[in-house]
Structure 1
Amino acid sequence: MIRKILGIAAGMMWLVNGGVAQQRVVENINDNWSYLELPVEHVSEVKNKDGWTPISLPHSWNGEDAVDVIPGYRRSISWYKKSLSMDVLDNDKRYFLYFEGVNIKSSIFVNGQLAGDHVGGYIGFEIEISSFLQKGENEILVKVDNGYDREVIPSQKSDFFIYGGITRDVWLKSVSQTFLSDIKITTDKVSAQSATTLVELTLDGPLSKNQEVKVLLVDPDGQVVAQQTVKAEAKTSVKFKTNDPQLWHVDTPHLYEVKAELFNGKKLKDQVSDRFGMRWFEFQENGPFYLNGERLIIRGTHRHEEHAGVGPAMTNEMHRTDMELIKGMGANFVRLAHYPQDPEIYRACDELGILVWDELPWCRGGVGNDQWKTNTSQMLAEIIQQNYNHPSVILWSLGNEIYWLPDFEDGDHTNEINSYLKELNDLAHKLDPSRQTAIRKYYEGADIVDVFSPSIWSGWYSGTYENYEAVIDQSIAKYPRFLHMEYGGSSHVGRHTETPITGKGFVDPSKFEEEVNQVEVKSVAKSGDWSENYIVDLFDWYLSITENHEQFAGNAQWAFKDFGTPLRPENDIPYMNQKGLADRAGNPKDAYYVFKSYWSDEPFAYIESHTWTERSGPKGEARNVCVYSNSETVELFQNGNSLGVKTRDTKQFPAAGLNWDVDFVAGENELLAVGMKDGQEIVKDSLVITYSYEQAGSPSELVLSSEWLENGNYLVTVTAVDKGGLRCLDYEERVYFQCLGGGDLIKNQGTPTGSEVIKMANGKASIEVKPNDNPGPLKMTVLNQYFKGTFLNIDKSHAKEQL
């Protein structure tokens, strides 16, 4: 079994103390590793090599190079090394290394000997090292390879980076010779009145007649509500019945716990625990979704596992923050795209109340050869076995766009793909009859899996967003269990327009699917402005439909955060897919607040937009201003004067009716939005907009300025201005930052202030710069093909005085 009970995947760690010998010890060993970027195959070749650098885990060698300005990223072999000091080597103990994720193939050596291998970069695995250890110092070497290998999914043609490294936590576990190696918890009969829980335990090691297993059921309040003691066998199981269970729900994610104790006579030999939830769900045929017998609109998003500056090597705190932001906007569902993710994500989803679509990384590439099939089937088995106990998981996805761009000859043949897809579907149901299978954008296999998502990109890759309701009506009627995965579009932070391009007049509004070949397709994705305004309108329209549709199961927006991809070098931020509701560092864009206004119960108000504080237009021409809020009513003020109170109605567009036509005065306009409930003020938001009746002419120069930041760095901003000094709000050309001395650019982050090459947003772009300790000014320049160079010297003494 792959779901080894370390107390890690379950969110706990057992050290048995209080006068009893520590039979199970689980220790995090992320610190004090060394890294060698040397692409050699054999362990003998690295033993005496120079160039090792100290690191801590998680780590990826593609943390920055994936999104730098140089085409390509490192796809090769690297080595990791750690010394394990074993002052005491107990012959009655067994020792294991557990890796939460190594991307994408790995080999583990202990004292020069191969202890084990693993294929698949997104799944945890365990290697026993007992027979390789010696008293004293032990050398652990890990060979990691993210090089091209068409026999290992995901396909190299996927729209995301295949990062290399030990990208998640590593643990050292010591246990008794006989120990509890797996705990599987199934709640196959659940109702509001009662629930049946089957606990299946796997024991590893020699068994004797004196061994017993004690199993305890602990309720969400921490009380032991049932227990059984049974004879220890290789496969041991017990069953509990619970009356009036506290059900797991997205609003009340109650978690029970199973504790299992292994005894030899009266001596405790091992102890493990895992949490689970009691719940049931149903996709009604050609209709909505039900959780615990009540209709629930699935309100979702997607997540790629990466973050600015570190790529996939995220800390648990970073993972948790992502999920709290997702829950904070009111989402109750996340599709893990396009691979299983860090154990912290499943733990957070269990605790926060977020349903999970867990996905096998069969993303593009078609079907492969026999070795490819062996690897892929093994990955699916590992995913299910590892994540089985999580109540948040409701769907095992078998892939995404699986027929696209085949890696093998004839790999896109429907008969071959369907034959193998049926094998995977049968395997998933065999390993887990309690959940359903799914797939996205493979129409020929729609009737093989339980739940299907077609490709619907109305308003971006095809058609207009106003056609969305007609498309989902067609899909509900066509597919027995329809769940819409992926919709949205790209937005560049700070880019705004009074008249966003909608596609009307030049795209076919009836179309909705993304074409494989986009070269000749007319779409908003190709012709639009990538403004925050347009994508806000698109999401607003979608949500006004889905929140009021009686037969709709739900959907998931693509994607929560901007993420890196090798397929998009010419994007406004190079190599970034900018469809996120937040930037790559997790800072929310305007669109985040649209979802929060429809989904969240936490009172808030947000004037669109805090990144649109400089606007222009003819005198006397009113501009529409939206306030996104979940308040019953909102009153908007301009320079202290009330513009009226409006009542929120989700059937109205835009902003559920919370929008006002504002006649801006020249100069500063202070807007104040006050949200009310039962006539009482509960939230407010304010914004100052500088308005001009004069439209800027053609850009005349690029002007550099700087702002000192509290972290000691500088934010250097370039602004395009005309001959009269007016900011050119429609200038969007690419600019190139350089630091000529006195500091270093904070670059290769894939963020609006962390890219040395970036397109401007309303005539402005910025980058963060870290000053060094050398005397003299910080020297900056910016240029593009039209402006050959603007220079700025920053006196760093100001920063030293501030610090």
Structure 2
Amino acid sequence: MTPTRRAFLVGSAALCATTLVSSRLMAASTTTTPDVTILDKDWEFYRGPLEPWQVWHSEELVTWEPQTVPHCFNHYDACDPDIPAYRGSGWYRTKLKAANPYRDGRTMLLFEGAAQTSEVFMGTTSVGKHIGGYNEFAVDITDALKTSKDGALAIHCSNARDLDRMPSDLSDFTLYGGLIRPVHLVYLPELAIESIYSVPEWHPGDTSATVSVTARLSGNTTRTASQIPFTIKLIDSSGKVVTQQKLSKNAGQAEFELATLTIPAVQPWSPETPTLYRCEVTMGTGADTSVTTHRFGIRHTKFEAQGPFLLNGKRLLLRGTHRHEDGAYYAAAMPADQVREEFRLIKAMGANFIRLAHYQQSRQVLDLCDELGLLVWEEVPWCRSGVGSATFQQHGKDTLTAMIDQHRNHPSVLMWGLGNEDDWPGELNGDDREAIRTYMRELHELSHKLDPSRVTSYRRCDFARDIPDVYSPSIWAGWYGGRYTEYAAALEKARKAVPHFIHMEWGADSHAGRHAEDPDPALGTVATGKGTAEKGFDYKLTGGTQRMAKDGEWSETYACDLFDWYLKTSESTPWLTGTAQWVFKDFTTPLRVENPVPRVNQKGLITRDMQLKEGYYVFQSFWAKEPMLRLYGHSFPLRWGKARQKRTARVYSNCSEVELFLNGKSVGRRKRDPNDFPCAGLRWELAFTEGRNELRAVAHEGGKTLEDTVQFRYETRPWSKPVKLLLRTVATQNGRSTVEAELVDVAGVRCLDSRAVVRFSLAGDGRLIDNLGTPDGSRVVQLANGRARITVDHREAVVVGVSSDNIIPGYQELGKHNGQA
């Protein structure tokens, strides 16, 4: 029986079950035969248009490059400062050596993600097409392999513009192209499991839970008329079988229930204890017997009217962030170890919630959220677009269906996001409010039909805020509108507008390495009481009213203050369901060409190459369970002010008391008070010595002693008008040299407040390590406190240059390297 809407909103039991291959394919995470092979090596790639027959007859036309998969063909150009990212065709080819171990078995290709539209060819024969860059899909190549010469496999991926496909080209992130996620060769028996789901039913206070195990089969449907033997085992986290059942089923292709089993002595899943059970299903007998396993968790959720949120019967403040699938060097095709490290950092920060923006993300991401205890808002890519053609609308429904079908069994998934910012100016049919409302309601109802246990959610479309179960308006106090001190009032106002409120997206851009000694002068120009929402084109650096996003310095210092105020506010608001800061890591976007790092959204707590900014530690100081201590300023080597002028020393810590030392002498202890802004009272006003200084912070907590030290030079000389750029080598290793540009005045004093844009260039046999989307990995970049860096890969002697408008350029000769790369 499907729950009523009221019952659905009040509470829902958790569900989880993840198959290794695909809920649209079948496959097992473990089987008795070697039926899954990852196709990661021996690929060749060509970026550009080809006809299918040319793929294998193109040596005189094009040059194919050896490649591994996953691969994104925008891995280098996504944040090129001069040329927009490539939008068009990319071809991949390889030779398959297929040997299906099953009698009368089927051979499939499973794609975890191919961006954005793809077509699969065996030889020159098309065997499958897929629209959408973010959900899994499978192609049956059994018959095509029989006639294909040498198992010749070719895949065409295109991220060319397409009004019938989500997401919109006006989305504030790059629509990458390529085989961005793993590709698998899968062997199936004649009749196979397509999907298995475990649907627990449990309420707080119950000592046991029931688990309904359902299945969907695929393959030779004539066999489904006979009784098929199944064995089901439910296994706890220690490996103990807690219950099992044997049965036979006369199964059809539609999803059907295998059995309902009972788990005694339930161990609920939560962010603190993300306990996962395992369901093991054996189907068939003889040579075609296979064993399928998946993991599941048991939990209960409830959104109270106008807050708060309850997990397993207790209030849980959702402490969250956001994530795009994007990283330096790899773009959307990040290696698995880097993804794991990213999520380790998210968990270590103290987060218990994440919104996956703005599309279905990889199975590895959802598995990590299950394992680490991160609740998830996952979203269909209806982003910044009105309601397009019938094809567009059906694509959105198909994408939502696939996302729910493939991920509805993860205990981490809390909400199905229906879209984002579909009130955007300039979109096709973007002003047709009734059409947007109608389509949003269709997605909402489809989500409930496919998964009655979860709520729907949406961010920023106020004229349709009554449709989703949980809604977030736009609140950007202190960045796109107003000042951060208006945050509490903005929360109260938003709370009253909808039954179930949550706050998604807040924060500030920061140019890593840029710091401030004094309050941002733009603060005094921003009006209060005029609203805190992002409206229209507020993200642009020109036009409109005064706002920190346009007029501020983009320093890490200001970002830390804004984070500090928001966290102080949210942690002390008892009715609040939760919030999620935008965004965990800097990412590329075609819309922000003029940013300090061109084409990069710099609101991350870490850079695109995963270097932690100072703001990360502000979150840790409020959220982390383990004792932590961080002196602000590890990337602030040159501070400034007048002689004997007092400057602020900041410490971010969750310890109860911190002692600070300046140049070896104690300057006192401070007790932490989360309401004492900023730094929860852990701040000192000190007069630094001209020249070299050292700060050391010490705390004792939980039987541990924590220390942190920063060293810096204090500059008392004032600077005048910038005159010239200087270059010097700061590091040399493994065939690479890192150089630093410094902007100085006529007396050679660094212009520490300069935000001039500089351009690095190179003469000789070498290359700039650029287009990384980082402050020290872009050939065009704004200075941070009067300096910028870049690395050069070279073996022979080269000359690196740096220039800026109306400034004397700088040059540095880099000698020949004798070492090995």
Per the alignment, residue 156 of structure 1 pairs with 169
Matched, 1:750 2:750: no
Q: 1:378 to 1:779 in 2, by over 3 A?
A: same
Q: Which residue of 2 aligns with 1:165?
A: 178
Structure-2 separation of matches of 1:252 and 1:195: 17
Instruction: Show CA shifts across 1:621-650 (max 9, x none).
Output: 211111001111100001111111111111
Alignment of 1:448-597 (within 5 A): 448-501=467-520, 503-510=522-529, 511-518=531-538, 519-597=543-621
Q: For 2:523 and 2:598, locate their aligned partners in 1 and report how far apart those are by CA, in whole Å.
A: 28
Greater Cα offset, 183-192 or 622-631: 183-192
Note the C-alpha offset of 1:87.
5.2
Partner Cα separation in structure 2 for residue 480 and residue 55 of structure 1:
51
- Following superposition, the deviation at residue 601 of structure 1 comes to 1.4
Aligned-partner Cα distance in 2 for 1:285–1:388 = 24
1:164-563 equivalent positions in 2, closer than 5 A: 164-192=177-205, 193-204=207-218, 205=220, 206-207=223-224, 209-232=226-249, 233-234=251-252, 235-264=256-285, 269-405=289-425, 407-408=427-428, 410-501=429-520, 503-510=522-529, 511-518=531-538, 519-563=543-587
Q: Distance in 1 between matches of 2:29 and 2:497?
A: 50
**Are 1:5 and 1:180, in contact at CA under 8 Å, matched by a contact in 2?**
no
Kindly tell me: are residues 513 and 11 of structure 1, through their superposed partners in 2, closer, same or farther at Cα, counting changes over 3 Å? Answer: farther
Distance in 2 (alpha carbons) for counterparts of 1:4 and 1:668? 56
Residue 164 of structure 2 aligns with an amino acid whose one-letter code is E
Kindly indicate whether residue 751 of structure 2 is the aligned counterpart of residue 728 of structure 1: yes
Which residues of 2 match residues 4-23 of structure 1 at below 5 A?
5-7=19-21, 14=29, 16=31, 22=33
The residue that corresponds to 2:79 in the other structure is 67
Q: In 2, Cα distance between the equivalents of 1:14 and 1:613?
A: 50
Amino acid of the residue matched to residue 758 of structure 1?
A: V
The Cα offsets for residues 358-401 of structure 1, whole Å up to 9 and x where unpaired, read as: 00000011111111111110000000000011000000000000
| Equivalent position SS for 2:487 | helix
Name structure 1 gaps, 5 residues minimum. none
Question: What per-residue deviation string (whole Å, max 9, x for no partner) do you get for residues 59-113 of structure 1?
Answer: 1111111211223221112211110013567552111100000001111112322
Q: How far apart are 1:188 and its partner, in Å?
A: 3.2
Distance between the aligned counterparts of 1:750 and 1:654, measured in 2? 30
**Are 1:502 and 1:534, in contact at CA under 8 Å, matched by a contact in 2?**
no
Q: How does the TM-score come out when normalised to structure 1?
A: 0.95
Q: 1:16 deviation in Å?
A: 4.4
CA, structure 1 residues 477+740, in 2 after alignment: closer, same or farther (shift >3 Å)?
A: same
Matched-pair contact (CA < 8 Å) for 2:322–2:583 = yes
Q: What is the TM-score normalised by the length of structure 2?
A: 0.93
Cα offset, 1:681, TM superposition:
5.1
Contact 2:349/2:623, CA 8 A, preserved across alignment: yes
My pick for the range that moved more, 652-661 or 7-16, is 7-16
AA of the residue aligned to 1:227: Q
User: 1:46 — aligned with what?
Assistant: 55
Q: Is the contact made by 1:4 and 1:126 (CA closer than 8 Å) also made in structure 2?
A: no
Distance 1:317 1:224 in 2: 31
- Please, which of 132, 137, 160 is the counterpart of residue 144 of structure 2? 132
What is the number of equivalent residue pairs in this alignment?
787
CA distance in 1, matches of 2:101, 2:196: 27
Give CA-to-partner distance per residue, 1:242-266, whole Å, 9 cap, x none. Answer: 22211100011000111111123x6
Q: C-alpha separation between the residues in 1 aligned to 2:753 and 2:292?
A: 61
Q: Which amino acid aligns with 1:361?
A: P
Tell me the SS of whatever aligns to 1:66: coil
Gaps of 5+ in 2: 1-16
Give the Å deviation of 1:342.
Answer: 1.3
RMSD: 2.0
Residue 35 (structure 1) aligned with residue 45 (structure 2): yes
Once the two structures are superposed, residues 725-756 of structure 1 have per-residue CA deviations (whole angstroms, 9 ceiling, x without a partner) of: 22221121011111111421101111111100
| C-alpha displacement of 1:148 | 0.6
Distance 2:485 2:342 in 1: 31
* Alpha-carbon separation, structure 2, partners of 1:89 and 1:217: 28
CA separation of 1:284 and 1:111: change in aligned 2, threshold 3 A:
same
Question: How far is the alpha carbon of 1:481 from its aligned partner?
Answer: 0.8
Instruction: Return the match for 2:713 from 682, 685, 690.
Output: 690
Q: Is the 8 A contact 2:181 2:333 kept in 1?
A: yes
Does residue 763 (structure 1) correspond to residue 786 (structure 2)? The answer is: yes
Aligned twin of 2:11 = none
C-alpha contact 1:98 1:172 (8 A) present in aligned 2: yes
CA contact (8 A) 1:500 1:529 kept: no
Q: For residue 753 of structure 1, what is the amino acid of its counterpart?
A: D
* Compared CA separation, residues 88 and 224, structure 1 to 2 (3 A): closer
Contact 1:547 1:650 in 2 (8 A): no
Alignment-mate amino acid for residue 671 of structure 2: T
Residue identity over aligned pairs, in percent, reads 37
- Deviation (angstroms), 1:4: 9.5
Aligned counterparts of 1:710 and 1:547: Cα–Cα separation in 2? 45
CA distance in 2, matches of 1:564, 1:732: 21
User: Structure 1 residues 306 and 11, CA, compared in 2 at 3 Å: closer, same or farther?
Assistant: farther
Moved more, 548-557 or 68-77: 68-77
Q: Quick check: 1:86 aligned with 2:98? A: yes
- Name the CA distance, whole Å, in 1 between partners of 2:524 and 2:613: 28
Q: Contact between 1:39 and 1:78, CA under 8 Å: does it hold in 2?
A: yes
